[in-house]
Structure 1
Amino acid sequence: MGNMKGKTLVFMLLFAVAIVGFLAYNNTRQPALEEGAPGEDPLAYEGTVKIGAQTVNESIVLAWMGKLLVESHTSLDVDINTEFAASSVLHQAMAGRELDIYPSWTGTQLTGIMRYEGPNLPSEETFKMVKEGFEKTFKMTWAAPIGFNNTYVMAIPRAKAEELGLKKASDLKGHSETWKLGSDENFDTRPDGYPGWTEAYGIEFGDVLPMQYSIMYRAIAGGEVDAIVAYSTDSRIKKLDLALLEDDKSFFPDYSAAFVVRMDTLENYPALLSVLEKLSGQIDEVTMSELNGRFDDGEEPEDIAKDFLTQAGLI
């Protein structure tokens, strides 16, 4: 009888140890499940996510990269719409649950959507501010930056720059007052655009002509405008032999590219963020300019995106 009690006691102790071990194991695994890491199978996801893009080369190429990454690493279907005219329209569509993901630039949303009017911030602080602001106000978050900064830059034909000795934006004073400036459709009204630029530099153009981004380059090539506000990763800067004027007042903020994602979409598909972040830190300014050039030369954005992701080993 005493022997039976001893065996029973040993069994109960072993059982208790097993229960404690199981609970400890389960607790250590739970955070991973929430992060969409080990324990969750993205290939078992069901549903459709929608990715949007502006009608500009870079936004379209990045949106296609997002689509191909999601399709390659999850079982989700992906719809893509690349017909949004401006970042504000994209944001409205996302807020209205018409989209789940879109590529954007930190400076664009910090000064545009968030109405930030303070001094320029380093790239890390800019990203932190816009990420925290979007999470708190819009229930959207940002994936880690893709790697390049596509900021604004004043550009004029190189021959004109050399003739007039223009090397920095401040040199425009005394010339721009009779010039026409071509810009994208938002620059003339955004606080990080023309209104703020004229205040910072004390310089004005004779006329500012907002237009579709692609038309802007045709306008300066045809002499319809004297200067344009270019994007620093645009391949047409090199093709049209444009001179870039130094932003000597450091007016333009950081425009690091990254994917914006609805937080409720991540609640349904937790691994989605890590899938998009496979692209983080993978593209620098030179590479993005080359990819944009392929788009401008008529190559299909899906082919450009697939080629890059395949060569980078991301799909």
Structure 2
Amino acid sequence: MTRRPTTRTSPTTRTSATARPSPTARTRTRRALTATVLAGVTTSLLAGCGLQPAAAFVPAAAPGSIEHVEGLPEDAPLTVTAKNFTEQLVLGKIAVLAASAAGFDVTDETNVPGSVAVRQLMTSHDADMTYEYTGTAWLTFMGHKEGIPDKTEQWQAVKDEDAGNGLTWLKPAPMNNTYAFAVRKEAVGELGDITKLSQIADLPVEDRTFCVESEFNSRPDGFKPMLEQYGLTLGGSGDGGIPKGNVDILDTGTVYTATDRGTCNFGEVFTTDGRIKSLGLSVLEDDRGFFPAYNVAPVLSTATLERYPQLEGVFDQISPKLTDAVLQELNRQVDVEGREPADVAFEWMVKEGFITKP
């Protein structure tokens, strides 16, 4: 099954929590036209006046468990890049803080508009490090038609293929920012303590109600095949039927609130979205492995890593702590509370002991 997520963008310059149309959105560009436009815009920016991120501020960081690399030259350069949506901004600032604490002279090129643009910076080796999603690399950049649900297998496949592009994937984080369905907590007991997608088929037809995005509903690898894998049929009238009247087609930004308000029992979500926590939604387990893995991992220029092998130890400390729950909370602080990604990243890094305040 090929997962082609909806393209969700955030503004390049963050203003306020209410101004953001799509919190924790992931810009995973799938359509060739969009990719061409993004690439063209980014090329123009780089060629015309240099890349000047709108949110390049990060607090000063001193070593903690991330120690200053012994023997590192004072001017050892490292360019960190990231996309321009909440989760990527937080991860990018984490990387900037970690590298700074380790003693690198960091250039902050986070807040870049689009997946394709960041990929170009990495493959051209104009940037040294980014956090990338395994599913994005496999399906979008490498052009495979089907994702791999097993997290370890997906990471290994991406790591092996990207080695030929001069890029090295370090160990992945537990966080898996993939599609899922969630239910409001108040309804979990009403539906029989439901925790898995497979349990939906056991519910009465009238309780099988869904809120989904229009693109996810219409794609050949989206809602309909997902239902089929779980023994359900869209528009069917039998035991596993889902009447079309049971499905609300909504904009991305309204699926979460509609699910929370009881418009439907099951809403399509992204697993690290901060609104899951802020609205008290419960994510159902994809127990039949329909959705591909989208684990995030540090990706470094192989040449840079060979020059500074200590970077592997720096980022390997951080990855195990990056869980779905952690990113939901960090994303929530940015998108709901309106905090700066750099401040959120800094506070979390200090709390975990990775860095200290100077």
Query: Is the counterpart of residue 231 in structure 1 residue 270 in structure 2?
Result: yes
Change (3 A) 1:101 1:210: farther
Structure 2 residue 167 is the aligned partner of structure 1 residue 127: no
The change in CA–CA distance for 1:160 and 1:280 in structure 2 (over 3 A counts) is closer
**CA distance 1:276–1:243, shift in 2 (3 Å):** closer
State which of 64, 76, 91 in structure 1 corresponds to 2:105: 76
Q: Does 2:171 match 1:139? A: no
Q: Report the CA distance shift for 1:118/1:294 in structure 2 as closer, same or farther (over 3 A).
A: closer
Q: 2: CA distance between counterparts of 1:103 and 1:92?
A: 14
Partner of 1:263: 302
1:142-157 to structure 2, matched below 5 A, reads: 142-157=169-184
C-alpha separation in 1, matches of 2:333 and 2:262: 25
Shift of 1:89: 4.8
Q: 1:94 to 1:293 in 2, by over 3 A?
A: same
Cα distance, 1:90 vs structure 2 = 3.2
Q: CA deviation at 1:130?
A: 1.6
**3-state SS, counterpart of residue 67 of structure 1:** helix
Question: Matched residue of 1:251: which SS?
Answer: coil
Displacement, 1:286? 2.9
Deviation at 1:158, TM superposition (A): 4.8
CA contact (8 A) 1:143 1:277 kept: yes
Using structure 2 for the length normalisation, give the TM-score: 0.60
Once the 2 structures are TM-superposed, how far is the Cα of residue 88 of structure 1 from its aligned partner? Answer: 4.7
Q: How many residues align?
A: 270
Separation of aligned partners in 1, 2:248 and 2:123: 34
Cα pair distance change 1:162/1:131, threshold 3 Å: same
Shift in CA distance, 161/145, structure 1 to aligned 2, threshold 3 Å? same
Aligned mate of 2:319, from 280, 292, 302: 280
Q: Which has the higher helix share?
A: 1
1:227: how far off?
5.2
Residue 250 of structure 1 deviates from its aligned partner by: 2.0
Q: From the superposition, tell whether residues 289 and 177 of structure 1 become closer, same or farther in structure 2 (CA, over 3 Å).
A: closer
Question: How far, CA to CA, are the matches of 2:217 and 2:226 in structure 1?
Answer: 10
CA distance in structure 1 between the partners assigned to 2:193 and 2:159 by the alignment: 37
In the other structure, the counterpart of 1:309 is: 349
**Gap change, CA 1:156 and 1:53, over 3 Å in 2:** same
CA distance in 1, matches of 2:138, 2:228: 19
**Mapping for residues 146-295 of structure 1, pairs under 5 Å:** 146-158=173-185, 167=194, 168-170=196-198, 171=200, 180-182=211-213, 193-194=222-223, 197=226, 200-201=229-230, 203-204=233-234, 211=252, 217=256, 228-295=267-334
* Structure 2, unaligned runs of 5 or more: 1-67, 235-243
**Separation (CA, whole Å) in 2 of partners of 1:110 and 1:259:** 15
Distance in 2 of aligned mates of 1:239 and 1:252: 24
The one-letter amino acid paired with 1:256 is N
Distance 1:227 1:88, change over 3 A: farther
Q: What's the % identity of the aligned pairs?
A: 29
The one-letter code sitting in structure 2 at the alignment partner of 1:148 is M
Cα pair distance change 1:263/1:251, threshold 3 Å: same
Write the distance in 2 (CA, Å) between the matches of 1:175 and 1:98: 54
Contact 2:87/2:331 (8 A) holds in 1:
yes
CA deviation string 1:258-278 (max 9, x = no partner):
112222333554443333333
- Per-residue displacement from partner, 1:157-182 (whole Å, max 9, x unpaired)? 45667667693435279569985513
Output one character per residue of 1:30-84: Cα deviation in whole Å (capped at 9) or x when no partner. xxxxxxxx997334343351311341x3222111100111111123222132243
CA contact (8 A) 2:217 2:249 kept: no
Alpha carbons of structure 1 residues 247 and 260: separation in structure 2 relative to 1, 3 Å: same
Could you tell me whether the CA contact under 8 Å between 1:188 and 1:210 is conserved in 2? no
Question: What do you get for the CA RMSD once the two structures are aligned?
Answer: 3.9
Quick check: 65-74 or 112-121, which moved more? 112-121
For 1:42, what is the secondary structure of its paired residue?
coil
Inter-partner Cα distance in structure 2 for 1:187 and 1:106: 23
Task: Please list the CA deviations of residues 89-111 of structure 1 after superposition, one character each: whole Å capped at 9, or x if unmatched.
Answer: 53244334453322123234334
Relative to 1, partners in 2 of residues 1:76 and 1:235: Cα closer, same or farther, differing over 3 Å?
same
CA separation in 2, counterparts of 1:228 and 1:252? 15
- Structure 1: 5+ residue stretches without partners: 1-37
Map of 1:104 onto structure 2: 132
Conserved? CA contact 1:187–1:210, under 8 Å: no
Could you tell me the TM-score, scaled by structure 1's length?
A: 0.67
Q: Secondary structure at the match of 1:117?
A: coil
Please tell me whether the aligned partners of residues 272 and 324 of structure 2 are also in contact (alpha carbons under 8 angstroms). Answer: yes
Q: Distance in 2 between matches of 1:300 and 1:309?
A: 14
